[in-house]
Amino acid sequence: MIFVTGGAGYIGSHTCVELLEAGHDVTVFDNFCNSHRESLRRVARITGREVTVIEGDIRDRTALEAALRESGASQVIHFAGLKAVGESVEQPLRYYDNNVVGTVRLLEAMEATGVRSIVFSSSATVYGDPQKLPLTEDHPLSATNPYGQTKLVIENMLRELHRSTPAWRVAILRYFNPAGAHPSGLIGEDPQGIPNNLMPYVTQVAIGQREYLNVWGGDYATPDGTGVRDYIHVVDLARGHLKALEYLAAQPGCVQVNLGTGKGYSVLDIVKAVAAASGREVPYRIAPRRAGDVAACYAEPALASQLLGWQAECGLTQMCEDAWRWQQGNPQGFRG
């Protein structure tokens, strides 16, 4: 049994599909503050298997202990957390409370129930402003916003926990830029309000929900002047979690691993690829740079291949085709 916090979210729901299809039983613990129960109903449609759903807050240790005992889980995947960079700047205490305090409560509950294997959903934001590219796992760590700081604090906490108690098995997965959707079109990224991520914003422009895309900065030292990022298909990302679980089941340890493709695509590359996938124009305007944005950020994914036997398989075309299929079929997301 795998216990998945935040399993109804974008990456969580896709990971639940992969877990179920690999034969695992799954218990999802989620408070649905930025996700929908419908995503888990769709997971069941895709896989023909149900997940056990327990509604609760990650900061509630008593509820976590009870849920862990009830589930009989042997491993945890920890997705639950607030994730909007801009919002974190405006509400830092809320982010530290939910993300950091919530993780402390989860680890306490795991210790109390004897579950000492965790895969943590981290982020490339822990590298801060890249000093060198591609980014390797030994790059100096820093963060330029409260969201990134919470990820870094949690990473440090997990490393210290493993040092104090080597029986803990910890995999820290540093995501780059998740994109795309399940090929069925039944689950995908469902942002509330204005999307924080590029891909759903571009598909909303393509379908006519938004007039145009603001491209923040057209004068970077990149091939077309727009920011370059490492976009990874969400299904590839989900499969990385299965590989991490298998790795931890085979041996104790604490590892930090990038999950990316090693390829950088610019904002205009994404615009063109979505236009090709949708057959529709994607109007855009070049706007001034945003504070805190970097010119380019992409992974060196070799360690994931070496340690986990994982590598990304889906390219940009498939990401955009799958994202467009989800957008067309679910113009209002799960609320529709």
Query: What CATH code is carried by the domain that includes residue 115?
Result: 3.40.50.720
Q: Would residue 96 count as lying in a domain?
A: yes
Residues annotated as part of the active site: 147
CA distances from 5 to 56, 104, 149, 320 (A): 10, 13, 20, 28
With CA atoms as reference, report the closest residue to 206 among 317, 288, 290, 320.
Answer: 320
Q: Determine the number of helices (DSSP H) and then strands (DSSP E) in the chain.
A: 12, 14
Domain containing 100 equals 2-181+231-260
Q: Would residue 129 count as lying in a domain?
A: yes
Q: Would residue 82 count as lying in a domain?
A: yes
Q: Would residue 326 count as lying in a domain?
A: no
pLDDT of 300 reads 98
Q: In this structure, which long-range contacts are made by residues 39-43, counting pairs with CB atoms below 8 Å and at least 24 apart in sequence?
A: 39/8, 39/9, 39/13, 39/187, 39/190, 39/334, 40/7, 40/8, 40/13, 40/16, 42/13, 42/186, 42/187, 42/334, 43/13, 43/16, 43/17, 43/187
Q: What's the distance, CA 34 to chain centroid?
A: 13
The burial class, CB within 10 Å (0-12 / 13-18 / 19+), for 138 is exposed
pLDDT of 294 reads 85
CA distances from 102 to 60, 65, 78, 118 (A): 8, 13, 10, 14
Q: Would residue 49 count as lying in a domain?
A: yes
Tally the domains of the chain. 1
Q: Would residue 107 count as lying in a domain?
A: yes
DSSP for 284-303, please give it.
Answer: EEEEPPPTT--SEE-B--HH
What is the spatial distance between Cα 125 and Cα 121, in angstroms, rounded to a whole number? 12
pLDDT of 192 reads 86
What is the pTM for the complete model shown?
A: 0.97
pLDDT of 196 reads 87
Q: Which positions of the chain have pLDDT values less than 70?
A: none
Q: Would residue 20 count as lying in a domain?
A: yes
Q: Would residue 296 count as lying in a domain?
A: no
Please give the angle made by the CA atoms of 195, 205 and 293, to the nearest 5 degrees: 45
pLDDT in tens, 49-74: 999 999 999 999 999 999 999 999 99
Residues facing 117 on adjacent strands: 169
pLDDT of 169 reads 98
